[in-house]
Structure 1
Amino acid sequence: MLTEEEMDIPPYSLSKSEKKEFLTRHLAALTRHHYESCTEYKKILDAKGFDVASVSDYAQIPFLPVRLFKDYELKSVPADAVVKTLTSSGTTGQKVSKIFLDKNTSSAQSKVLTKIVSSFIGKQRVPMLILDSSAVIKNRAMFSARGAGILGFSMFGSDRLYALDEEMNLNVDAIKAFLEKHQGETMFLFGFTFMIWQHFYKELKKSGVKFDLSNGVLIHGGGWKKLVNEAVSPEMFKSALHDVCGINHVYDYYGMVEQTGTIYVECECGRLHTSIFSDIICRNPKDFSECLFGEEGLIEVVSVLPESYPGHVLLTEDVGAVLGEDDCPCGRKGKYFKINGRIKNAEIRGCSDTYAAEAKNAAK
């Protein structure tokens, strides 16, 4: 478990060797914990003949395919210790992942998310415009990745407004009043990529309404598959939003419900960054060896946060490439990388992509 002193380490401050020692120590301890506490995880590692006492490099730890959480209820704590169950996004008929959180894991996720996001928007809470509908927040004990994302990021808002009503219509009058109330203040905006494009940008473009969000900072994630199909690139996305509301600071992020809290945020140079609490390894799909910088492979994600379930070392269904480490012009240390897409035949996964697929099916 992370100590308070470790929580206070700036999220992009450790050098390559320092971070490797930090991650190996914590991930080795988590591997032993899950081996002792989760029967299914123990069976997997025993079947591989892996010695949990011999970890000298976190890259050696066997990964679990992220899809495993769709088929098994994996937890490393007693059932009565679970305080929250997160579910991944999934279209109708798809299985969803179930992630079981105890108090310690949930708290650590919130604290690390705060550290990462604060390094981009500052530590002071600011007015927040949520580019979604409050209808997505239902059962707090068990909710989807989209709802979890909104609730997690809401902690950064001193005053919050949902930009969409329950029918996903743009609440123009309420937004105007909110902007007038907080005129001149820095504003934090959060939403999922497709929802922002479909229900915020397109509606503003169609109506001709102009908002002044030049003091705004937008963090958004998920849903690029649908926008790529519409021939919308990240550069076009940023430019289009600037045209309708004047926003200059737009940051994408990569993350998943299986490792909530350890998100990877895009820097000013357009690169996704790992923090000290997590890392990315690109694996060659043929032999799972580690790829060289710039070489495309399957994305493995590691996180020091999952204590209540064995989600600390996962192989995703995404492909991408690590571009470098410790030398991004933005000044942040750690690996920086890009995501190129999903492996062929992988299920639609992202919150925004799921919403888009469901909307399309409902229209048929």
Structure 2
Amino acid sequence: MIYEDLLKFPPYSLPQKEKDSKLKNTLAGAFEHHFNNCPPYRKLCQKRHITPPLNDFEYPDLPYLPVEIFKKMRLSSVDDTAIVRSLQSSATTSQTPSTIVIDNITRMRQVNTLVWLLGNFLGKKRRPYVILDVDPAAVKAGQNTISARAAAIRGFLVAASSASYCMLPDGTGDNLKIDFDTLTAKLSKMQAENQEIVLFGFTYVLYVYVAQQLRQKGITFSLPKASVLHIGGWKKLQNEAVDKATFNSTISDVFGIPQNQVLDIYGFTEQLGLVYIDCSDGLKRVPLTAEIIIRDPQTLAPVPDGDTGLVELITPLPHSYPGIAVLLDDMGRIVTREQAEDQRYGTAFEILGRAREAEIRGCGDILSGKMTL
């Protein structure tokens, strides 16, 4: 079974046993491809005594790559002539970004997977997107944070029928200000027409630069058919003692959107295209194309459901680089494996923040021989 076959099913439609059969079959093929075509990855697998073919394996058996390795090495499983672009993470928690090489197979999988997942929550019909950030055309040299956000936002526009940007740089660096005239005119028109729109932005920007300022001015809207998608994590808001409940309540009050239509999205560059979106119970579930493991920060052994540890996410999506099992520096826990009230299947989890100090093993297994591509 190839990856594209998985996308023929709705993302959360299969019970675990049926999902495992299809996903493990696809992962076994992906593992063999990367083992045969990426020498550093093959070295890691051999040191861990795991070689193809994979038969009757469990998800924790797959050799994982610590996310840090993508900051230290350029890993590729295809010929250089097949690479169409290189992607870099925003490096928000370090000075060194991850670098991911992309071929056309991976690029198409990323786009098709994102559309597949967003369509499950928003419907297949494209909607107008109101982007609560800066138009990339207005970004000047040196505004690095805004540039990184603009690059991330562009990927989500594959599901948009149109895109309107409603913020401006304030001219002093990476800070923003609302274009009140544009935003209020746009949302007032959409409110009058009762449109099904998507408000999209980064979690911190949406709350601090938009919702709070609109509330302070007493400006509210009634957009019951709208949805809010926000990305980028909670670190900055947690530093300001803003939790998810407060965020959702504020966004709902300002924009007149039901709280269950305020959707937090989790994803990362090293498995771009895969996103994890809030279900009806406020938990994120892994779709048919992925699985999650939580590992003890000290021993790296899998922990029981409910325990907190380092998040590992597994997917056969990447073809051009061996990112099929990535151990992150995020902490999380598996909450339940039961079907959600909205009938979605999949392991349900929550992200609890970044690991403060975690020595993630694995880099040395690749780097010790000074092997490079």
The verdict on a shared fold, with TM-score over 0.5 as the criterion, is yes
Residues 227-242 of structure 1 aligned to structure 2 (within 5 Å): 227-242=237-252
Q: Deviation string for 1:314-341 (max 9, x for gaps)?
A: 1011111111114222311110011111
Q: Are 2:179 and 1:171 equivalent residues in the alignment?
A: yes
| Corresponding residue number in structure 2 for 1:358 | none
Structure 1 counterpart of 2:152, from 149, 154, 161? 149
The amino acid across from 1:302 in the alignment is I
Bigger shift: residues 314-323 or 284-293: 284-293
Deviation at 1:206?
Answer: 3.0
CA distance 1:163–1:346, change in 2 (3 Å): farther
Distance (Å, rounded) in 2 between the aligned partners of 1:55 and 1:96 = 35
Q: Give the unaligned 5+ runs of structure 2.
A: 140-145, 171-175, 360-373
Match of 2:125, SS state, is coil
| Corresponding residue number in structure 1 for 2:216 | 206
Q: Deviation string for 1:114-166 (max 9, x for gaps)?
A: 1111111110011111111123898xxxx976344311211221121012124
Match of 2:178, SS state, is coil
Q: Are 2:165 and 1:162 equivalent residues in the alignment?
A: yes
| Corresponding residue number in structure 1 for 2:279 | 267
Q: Are 2:66 and 1:65 equivalent residues in the alignment?
A: yes
Residues 120-131 of structure 1 aligned to structure 2 (within 5 Å): 120-131=121-132
Residues 176-325 of structure 1 aligned to structure 2 (within 5 Å): 176-182=184-190, 183-248=193-258, 249-325=261-337
Distance (Å, rounded) in 2 between the aligned partners of 1:145 and 1:312 = 24
| Corresponding residue number in structure 1 for 2:45 | 45
Whether the 8 Å contact between 1:285 and 1:297 is mirrored in structure 2 is yes
Match of 2:245, SS state, is helix
Whether the 8 Å contact between 1:192 and 1:220 is mirrored in structure 2 is yes
Q: Are 2:66 and 1:54 equivalent residues in the alignment?
A: no
Distance (Å, rounded) in 1 between the aligned partners of 2:27 and 2:120 = 24
Distance (Å, rounded) in 2 between the aligned partners of 1:50 and 1:209 = 59
| Superposition CA RMSD, Å | 2.3
Distance (Å, rounded) in 2 between the aligned partners of 1:99 and 1:147 = 18
| Corresponding residue number in structure 2 for 1:99 | 100
CA distance 1:5–1:258, change in 2 (3 Å): closer
Bigger shift: residues 128-137 or 217-226: 128-137
The amino acid across from 1:113 in the alignment is L
The amino acid across from 1:111 in the alignment is N
Whether the 8 Å contact between 2:67 and 2:329 is mirrored in structure 1 is yes
Deviation at 1:18?
Answer: 1.3
CA distance 1:4–1:302, change in 2 (3 Å): closer
CA distance 1:32–1:3, change in 2 (3 Å): closer
The amino acid across from 2:342 in the alignment is C
The amino acid across from 2:24 in the alignment is T
Q: Give the unaligned 5+ runs of structure 1.
A: 348-364
CA distance 1:2–1:147, change in 2 (3 Å): farther
Distance (Å, rounded) in 2 between the aligned partners of 1:3 and 1:62 = 19
Bigger shift: residues 316-325 or 241-250: 241-250
Give the TM-score taking structure 1 as reference length: 0.88
